[in-house]
Amino acid sequence: DVNDVPFNPSQILVTYQDDANVQLMTFDNAGAAAGPDGAAAACRTPDTTFRWYLVVRGTGTVTNILEPGEVAEMYICTSNLNPTLTTNSQFRIEVIPQEGAPIALQRRTPLALAPVMNLD
């Protein structure tokens, strides 16, 4: 049995951590309104400081419920970190929802970096 999941992005904490930085990221839905390209572009602007965006595939709109089968993509902006994330560096992102268990993602950057990457 699959149920809807409460998911209010403004009530979710997202933290970023690497060897030199620890940041609490702020949810901002403005860049996500234009879809994945808008969120990615918003992350590259100089005034985007420690923000994250959410894009729901298929609908494009962010509601406070994730329905079965919906895919939500998070765009986490790290361009203003000081020092910046470099190649072959380990980092950790933690998503702490209003209900349920936190989700921790720990990855290492590849040997070559691009502005937007999928680090599956």
Quote the CA–CA distance of 84 and 36 in Å, as a whole number: 23
Judge whether 55 and 37 are in contact, CB under 8 Å.
no
When the pLDDT of each residue in the chain is averaged and rounded to a whole number, the result is: 81
Q: Binning pLDDT at 50, 70 and 90, where does residue 89 land?
A: very high
Ranges 4-8, 53-57, 68-72, 85-89, most confident: 85-89
Residues of the chain above pLDDT 70, percent: 83
Strands (E), the chain: 5-6, 13-18, 22-27, 51-57, 65-66, 71-76, 90-96, 103-108
What per-residue confidence (pLDDT) applies to 74?
84
Between residues 1 and 103, the one the model is more confident about: 103
